[in-house]
Amino acid sequence: MLPDGNEVEMHSFPTVQQMSKLTEQRLREMGFGYRAKYIVGTVVSLPEARGSSLAMGRDAQAERLKAAASSAHQQMLSEQGGTEHLTRLRSMPRPEVKSQLLEYPGVGPKVADCVALFCLDQTDCIPGTSPFPKQEQEREQEQERVQEQE
């Protein structure tokens, strides 16, 4: 119940195992649109999804996405773990968090910033589309240099 007395139905975020049972088609039917293929691609790249129907190849699109994922990203997830790795991102510096998130299928700078802010406690991150992307990149690189010197 909310402070104003209204009731709201709440749902927990699905687990990797639950997500791994969804196909791209089902996600599209649920309203995810073009994002469906990226969700499937990210889920199948996580070690926790191994052994699921998706990871075992029931969805051909998922297999194509998995095959297209960078081998470095796959190796990193295998070595560091999926959920555990994502949880560790909370304690990393923002530039490193963004760099790690950009490795996932379909994650661009704006989505990486949103995930960093809303899911990984990176409160100094301000998502948005910069009209000056080169200058934004230079600013981030300068921030990295300053952090390395500290």
Nearest to 94 by CA among 132, 144, 142: 144
Which of 28, 24, 117 lies closest to 64, judged by CA? 24
Contact 74, 45 (CB under 8 A): yes
Per residue in 28-44, pLDDT (tens digit) is 999 999 888 888 888 87
Q: For the segment 98-108, what is each residue's pLDDT rounded down to a tens digit?
A: 888 888 878 88
pTM of the complete model: 0.57
Catalytic residue among 37, 66, 110, 134: 110
Is 66 an active-site residue?
no
Range scoring the smallest mean pLDDT among 11-20, 46-55, 73-82, 97-106: 46-55
With bands split at pLDDT 50, 70 and 90, how would you rate the model's confidence at 56? very low
Q: Which two tokens stand for residue 47?
A: 């070690």
Give the residue, 76 or 38, on which the prediction is more confident.
Answer: 38
